[in-house]
Protein backbone atom coordinates (compact mmCIF):
# COMPACT_ATOMS: atom_id res chain seq x y z
CA UNK A 1 0.00 0.00 0.00
CA UNK A 2 1.01 3.58 -0.67
CA UNK A 3 -0.45 6.97 0.24
CA UNK A 4 0.10 8.87 -2.99
CA UNK A 5 -3.44 10.20 -3.36
CA UNK A 6 -5.94 10.67 -0.55
CA UNK A 7 -8.16 8.49 -2.77
CA UNK A 8 -5.77 5.57 -2.10
CA UNK A 9 -7.82 5.31 1.10
CA UNK A 10 -11.50 4.39 1.23
CA UNK A 11 -13.90 6.31 3.48
CA UNK A 12 -13.60 3.46 6.00
CA UNK A 13 -9.80 3.58 5.77
CA UNK A 14 -9.80 7.32 6.39
CA UNK A 15 -12.03 6.90 9.46
CA UNK A 16 -9.71 4.20 10.81
CA UNK A 17 -6.70 6.49 10.41
CA UNK A 18 -8.59 9.38 12.05
CA UNK A 19 -9.77 7.23 14.98
CA UNK A 20 -6.21 6.11 15.62
CA UNK A 21 -4.92 9.68 15.24
CA UNK A 22 -7.43 10.82 17.90
CA UNK A 23 -6.17 8.10 20.23
CA UNK A 24 -2.52 8.95 19.59
CA UNK A 25 -3.30 12.62 20.33
CA UNK A 26 -5.28 11.88 23.48
CA UNK A 27 -2.63 9.57 24.90
CA UNK A 28 0.43 11.41 23.60
CA UNK A 29 3.46 10.46 25.69
CA UNK A 30 2.02 7.09 26.71
CA UNK A 31 5.07 4.78 26.90
CA UNK A 32 3.09 2.07 25.10
CA UNK A 33 3.49 4.02 21.84
CA UNK A 34 7.29 4.02 22.02
CA UNK A 35 7.52 0.55 20.54
CA UNK A 36 4.94 0.90 17.75
CA UNK A 37 7.62 1.51 15.10
CA UNK A 38 10.62 0.11 16.98
CA UNK A 39 13.36 -0.89 14.55
CA UNK A 40 11.66 0.87 11.60
CA UNK A 41 13.29 3.53 9.44
CA UNK A 42 11.71 6.07 7.11
CA UNK A 43 13.55 7.78 4.24
CA UNK A 44 12.06 11.28 3.93
CA UNK A 45 13.05 12.87 0.62
CA UNK A 46 12.46 16.60 0.15
CA UNK A 47 12.82 18.26 -3.25
CA UNK A 48 11.12 21.38 -1.83
CA UNK A 49 11.27 23.22 1.52
CA UNK A 50 9.10 22.12 4.44
CA UNK A 51 8.48 22.98 8.07
CA UNK A 52 5.36 21.06 9.17
CA UNK A 53 5.70 17.97 7.00
CA UNK A 54 9.35 17.40 7.77
CA UNK A 55 9.01 18.03 11.50
CA UNK A 56 5.82 15.97 11.83
CA UNK A 57 7.39 13.00 10.04
CA UNK A 58 10.60 13.14 12.06
CA UNK A 59 8.88 13.64 15.44
CA UNK A 60 6.25 11.00 14.62
CA UNK A 61 8.92 8.41 13.84
CA UNK A 62 10.84 9.26 17.04
CA UNK A 63 7.71 9.25 19.26
CA UNK A 64 6.74 5.82 17.90
CA UNK A 65 10.22 4.39 18.49
CA UNK A 66 11.45 4.50 14.88
CA UNK A 67 13.89 6.66 12.98
CA UNK A 68 13.52 9.11 10.08
CA UNK A 69 16.28 10.16 7.69
CA UNK A 70 15.91 13.62 6.17
CA UNK A 71 17.22 13.42 2.60
CA UNK A 72 17.43 16.61 0.62
CA UNK A 73 16.73 15.98 -3.07
CA UNK A 74 19.81 17.92 -4.09
CA UNK A 75 22.13 15.98 -1.76
CA UNK A 76 20.92 12.60 -2.96
CA UNK A 77 22.46 11.09 -6.10
CA UNK A 78 18.94 11.66 -7.51
CA UNK A 79 20.04 15.27 -7.90
CA UNK A 80 22.95 14.12 -10.10
CA UNK A 81 20.79 11.98 -12.35
CA UNK A 82 20.44 8.62 -10.58
CA UNK A 83 17.09 7.34 -11.75
CA UNK A 84 13.95 7.33 -9.65
CA UNK A 85 13.49 3.54 -10.11
CA UNK A 86 17.07 2.85 -8.96
CA UNK A 87 16.64 5.18 -5.99
CA UNK A 88 13.37 3.45 -5.04
CA UNK A 89 14.85 -0.03 -5.38
CA UNK A 90 17.94 0.76 -3.33
CA UNK A 91 16.12 2.63 -0.56
CA UNK A 92 13.72 -0.33 -0.32
CA UNK A 93 16.69 -2.49 0.75
CA UNK A 94 17.48 -0.10 3.63
CA UNK A 95 14.26 1.33 5.03
CA UNK A 96 10.67 0.34 5.80
CA UNK A 97 9.00 3.30 4.13
CA UNK A 98 9.71 6.26 1.85
CA UNK A 99 8.09 9.68 2.16
CA UNK A 100 8.78 12.18 -0.61
CA UNK A 101 7.94 15.82 -1.29
CA UNK A 102 8.37 16.20 -5.02
CA UNK A 103 8.19 18.89 -7.66
CA UNK A 104 6.30 16.69 -10.10
CA UNK A 105 3.54 14.24 -9.17
CA UNK A 106 4.98 11.79 -11.71
CA UNK A 107 8.05 11.40 -9.44
CA UNK A 108 6.01 10.09 -6.51
CA UNK A 109 4.04 7.81 -8.81
CA UNK A 110 7.28 6.39 -10.21
CA UNK A 111 8.74 5.99 -6.71
CA UNK A 112 5.62 4.08 -5.74
CA UNK A 113 5.84 1.87 -8.79
CA UNK A 114 9.43 0.79 -8.13
CA UNK A 115 9.56 0.75 -4.34
CA UNK A 116 9.15 -2.50 -2.44
CA UNK A 117 8.20 -0.52 0.68
CA UNK A 118 5.24 1.85 1.17
CA UNK A 119 5.54 5.33 -0.34
CA UNK A 120 3.93 8.41 1.23
CA UNK A 121 3.27 11.60 -0.74
CA UNK A 122 4.63 14.41 1.43
CA UNK A 123 3.25 16.93 -1.16
CA UNK A 124 3.38 16.96 -4.91
CA UNK A 125 2.16 19.59 -7.34
CA UNK A 126 -1.09 17.57 -7.63
CA UNK A 127 -1.93 16.42 -4.10
CA UNK A 128 -1.13 16.70 -0.40
CA UNK A 129 -2.83 13.72 1.27
CA UNK A 130 -1.06 14.01 4.65
CA UNK A 131 -2.36 17.57 4.98
CA UNK A 132 -5.90 16.55 4.25
CA UNK A 133 -5.93 13.82 6.90
CA UNK A 134 -4.97 16.47 9.48
CA UNK A 135 -7.66 18.76 8.08
CA UNK A 136 -10.33 16.05 8.35
CA UNK A 137 -9.19 15.28 11.88
CA UNK A 138 -9.59 18.95 12.77
CA UNK A 139 -13.03 19.24 11.17
CA UNK A 140 -14.22 16.16 13.05
CA UNK A 141 -12.85 17.52 16.34
CA UNK A 142 -14.76 20.75 15.85
CA UNK A 143 -18.05 19.42 14.43
CA UNK A 144 -18.14 15.77 15.54
CA UNK A 145 -18.82 14.61 11.98
CA UNK A 146 -17.62 14.92 8.40
CA UNK A 147 -20.61 13.74 6.42
CA UNK A 148 -22.71 16.66 5.24
CA UNK A 149 -20.22 19.33 6.34
CA UNK A 150 -20.30 22.39 4.07
CA UNK A 151 -16.76 23.20 3.01
CA UNK A 152 -15.76 26.27 1.01
CA UNK A 153 -12.38 26.54 -0.68
CA UNK A 154 -11.42 30.06 -1.65
CA UNK A 155 -8.45 30.76 -3.90
CA UNK A 156 -6.08 28.64 -5.91
CA UNK A 157 -7.30 25.25 -7.14
CA UNK A 158 -3.98 23.74 -6.09
CA UNK A 159 -2.62 20.50 -4.61
CA UNK A 160 -4.28 21.05 -1.21
CA UNK A 161 -7.57 21.98 -2.90
CA UNK A 162 -7.38 18.84 -5.08
CA UNK A 163 -6.92 16.55 -2.08
CA UNK A 164 -9.72 18.36 -0.22
CA UNK A 165 -12.03 17.77 -3.19
CA UNK A 166 -11.29 14.04 -3.22
CA UNK A 167 -11.66 13.80 0.56
CA UNK A 168 -14.99 15.63 0.39
CA UNK A 169 -16.25 13.19 -2.20
CA UNK A 170 -15.12 10.20 -0.13
CA UNK A 171 -16.50 11.51 3.17
CA UNK A 172 -19.80 12.89 1.87
CA UNK A 173 -18.98 16.54 2.50
CA UNK A 174 -20.49 19.34 0.41
CA UNK A 175 -17.73 21.35 -1.20
CA UNK A 176 -17.77 24.59 -3.14
CA UNK A 177 -14.63 26.02 -4.72
CA UNK A 178 -14.23 29.67 -5.73
CA UNK A 179 -11.20 30.40 -7.89
CA UNK A 180 -10.37 33.09 -10.44
CA UNK A 181 -10.87 32.00 -14.06
CA UNK A 182 -7.97 29.82 -15.15
CA UNK A 183 -6.94 28.88 -11.60
CA UNK A 184 -9.62 26.31 -10.79
CA UNK A 185 -9.02 22.73 -9.64
CA UNK A 186 -7.55 20.04 -11.88
CA UNK A 187 -10.15 18.59 -14.31
CA UNK A 188 -9.08 14.98 -13.69
CA UNK A 189 -9.46 15.48 -9.94
CA UNK A 190 -12.99 16.87 -10.43
CA UNK A 191 -13.87 13.87 -12.62
CA UNK A 192 -12.42 11.46 -10.08
CA UNK A 193 -14.42 13.16 -7.29
CA UNK A 194 -17.55 12.76 -9.41
CA UNK A 195 -16.83 9.07 -9.92
CA UNK A 196 -16.34 8.68 -6.14
CA UNK A 197 -19.87 9.95 -5.67
CA UNK A 198 -19.29 13.57 -4.72
CA UNK A 199 -19.74 16.42 -7.11
CA UNK A 200 -18.00 19.67 -6.27
CA UNK A 201 -19.47 23.05 -7.24
CA UNK A 202 -16.88 25.33 -8.85
CA UNK A 203 -17.95 28.99 -8.84
CA UNK A 204 -16.26 32.31 -9.53
CA UNK A 205 -17.77 34.32 -6.66
CA UNK A 206 -16.06 33.74 -3.28
CA UNK A 207 -19.15 34.95 -1.35
CA UNK A 208 -21.26 32.33 -3.15
CA UNK A 209 -18.82 29.59 -2.15
CA UNK A 210 -18.68 30.74 1.47
CA UNK A 211 -22.45 31.30 1.90
CA UNK A 212 -23.62 28.99 4.73
CA UNK A 213 -20.25 27.21 4.94
CA UNK A 214 -19.08 25.52 8.12
CA UNK A 215 -15.46 25.33 6.98
CA UNK A 216 -13.69 28.05 5.01
CA UNK A 217 -10.31 26.96 3.73
CA UNK A 218 -7.64 28.68 1.72
CA UNK A 219 -3.95 28.41 0.83
CA UNK A 220 -1.23 30.47 -0.75
CA UNK A 221 -1.86 32.00 -4.17
CA UNK A 222 1.71 31.14 -5.15
CA UNK A 223 2.57 27.52 -4.45
CA UNK A 224 6.10 26.19 -4.54
CA UNK A 225 6.93 25.97 -8.22
CA UNK A 226 4.60 28.83 -9.23
CA UNK A 227 7.02 31.63 -8.33
CA UNK A 228 7.59 32.69 -11.94
CA UNK A 229 3.86 33.53 -12.21
CA UNK A 230 3.80 35.58 -8.99
CA UNK A 231 2.88 38.96 -10.53
CA UNK A 232 -0.01 37.68 -12.63
CA UNK A 233 -1.28 35.53 -9.79
CA UNK A 234 -1.29 38.41 -7.30
CA UNK A 235 -3.27 40.46 -9.82
CA UNK A 236 -5.83 37.68 -10.44
CA UNK A 237 -6.38 36.59 -6.83
CA UNK A 238 -7.05 39.94 -5.11
CA UNK A 239 -10.84 39.45 -4.66
CA UNK A 240 -10.28 35.96 -3.23
CA UNK A 241 -8.83 37.04 0.12
CA UNK A 242 -10.31 35.37 3.20
CA UNK A 243 -11.13 38.40 5.36
CA UNK A 244 -13.84 39.35 7.87
CA UNK A 245 -16.20 40.60 5.16
CA UNK A 246 -16.03 37.29 3.30
CA UNK A 247 -16.30 35.27 6.50
CA UNK A 248 -19.52 37.10 7.37
CA UNK A 249 -21.22 34.99 4.65
CA UNK A 250 -20.34 31.72 6.46
CA UNK A 251 -22.25 30.18 9.36
CA UNK A 252 -21.51 31.91 12.69
CA UNK A 253 -19.84 28.73 13.99
CA UNK A 254 -17.69 28.33 10.86
CA UNK A 255 -14.00 27.55 11.22
CA UNK A 256 -11.21 28.91 9.05
CA UNK A 257 -8.46 26.59 7.86
CA UNK A 258 -5.11 27.12 6.16
CA UNK A 259 -2.47 24.43 5.72
CA UNK A 260 0.31 27.03 6.21
CA UNK A 261 2.66 28.64 5.43
CA UNK A 262 0.39 31.67 5.10
CA UNK A 263 1.11 34.88 3.29
CA UNK A 264 -0.60 37.21 5.74
CA UNK A 265 -2.29 40.09 3.97
CA UNK A 266 -2.57 38.14 0.72
CA UNK A 267 -4.84 35.08 0.83
CA UNK A 268 -5.81 35.67 4.48
CA UNK A 269 -5.85 38.65 6.82
CA UNK A 270 -4.20 38.76 10.26
CA UNK A 271 -7.62 39.44 11.74
CA UNK A 272 -9.07 36.16 10.44
CA UNK A 273 -5.95 34.11 10.94
CA UNK A 274 -5.61 35.14 14.58
CA UNK A 275 -9.35 35.50 15.22
CA UNK A 276 -11.83 33.27 17.06
CA UNK A 277 -12.86 31.30 13.96
CA UNK A 278 -9.33 30.17 13.18
CA UNK A 279 -8.67 26.43 13.61
CA UNK A 280 -5.30 26.81 11.93
CA UNK A 281 -2.98 25.95 14.82
CA UNK A 282 -4.99 22.85 15.76
CA UNK A 283 -4.91 21.88 12.09
CA UNK A 284 -1.15 22.27 12.10
CA UNK A 285 -0.70 20.27 15.32
CA UNK A 286 -2.90 17.53 13.91
CA UNK A 287 -0.31 16.94 11.17
CA UNK A 288 1.73 15.15 13.83
CA UNK A 289 -1.01 12.94 15.23
CA UNK A 290 -2.49 12.02 11.87
CA UNK A 291 0.84 11.19 10.26
CA UNK A 292 1.63 8.87 13.17
CA UNK A 293 -1.52 6.94 12.31
CA UNK A 294 -0.45 6.86 8.65
CA UNK A 295 3.03 5.59 9.52
CA UNK A 296 1.59 2.90 11.78
CA UNK A 297 -0.87 1.83 9.07
CA UNK A 298 1.82 1.58 6.40
CA UNK A 299 4.99 0.54 8.22
CA UNK A 300 3.81 -2.03 10.78
> Is 241 considered catalytic here?
no
Catalytic residue among 63, 125, 135, 219: 219
In the bound complex, what is the minimum distance in angstroms from residue 186's beta carbon to ligand CP?
18
| Identified catalytic residue from 105, 140, 259, 266 | 259
CB under 5 to 8 A by kind: which of ligand CP, ligand NVA, none does 51 bind?
A: ligand CP
Output the smallest distance, CB 185 to ligand CP, in A: 18
Of 109, 134, 123, give the one whose Cα is nearest residue 45.
123
CB closer to ligand CP, 196 vs 215: 215
Asked if 128 is an active-site residue, the reply is yes
CA distances from 229 to 24, 185, 225, 260 (A): 41, 17, 9, 20
Shortest reach from residue 193's CB to ligand NVA, in Å: 18
- Does residue 270 have an active-site annotation? no
Give me the least distance between CB of 123 and ligand CP, in Å please. 6
**Is 131 a catalytic site residue?**
yes
SS3 letters across 10-73? CHHHHHHHHHHHHHHHHCCCCHHHHHCCCCCEEEEEECCCCCHHHHHHHHHHHHCCCEEEEEEC
Active-site residue (options: 52, 96, 101, 142): 101
**Under the rule (CB under 6 A), what is the footprint of ligand NVA?**
123, 158-160, 219-220, 223-224, 259
CB 92 within 8 A of CB 116: yes
**Interface ranges with ligand CP (CB under 6 A):** 50-53, 123, 131, 259-261
CB 45, CB 73: distance < 8 Å: yes
| For ligand CP, the closer CB: 196 or 272 | 272
Nearest CA-CA partner of 164 in 196, 143, 133: 133
Binding-site partner at residue 159 among ligand NVA, ligand CP, none, CB < 5 to 8 Å by type: ligand NVA
Q: Please give the Cα distance from 85 to 186 (Å, whole number).
A: 27
* Residue 59 binds: one of ligand CP, ligand NVA, none (C-beta under 5 to 8 A by kind): none
Residues classed as catalytic: 101, 128, 131, 219, 259, 287
Amino acid sequence: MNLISIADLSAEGILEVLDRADELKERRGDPAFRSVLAGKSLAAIFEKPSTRTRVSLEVAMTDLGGHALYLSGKDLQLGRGETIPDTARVLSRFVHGIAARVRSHSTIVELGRHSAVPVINALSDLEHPCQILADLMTMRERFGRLSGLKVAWVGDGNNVCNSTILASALMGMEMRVASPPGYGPNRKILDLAESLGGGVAVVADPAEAVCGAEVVSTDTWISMGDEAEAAERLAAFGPYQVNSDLLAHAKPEAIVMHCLPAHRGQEITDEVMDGPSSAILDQSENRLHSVKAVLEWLLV
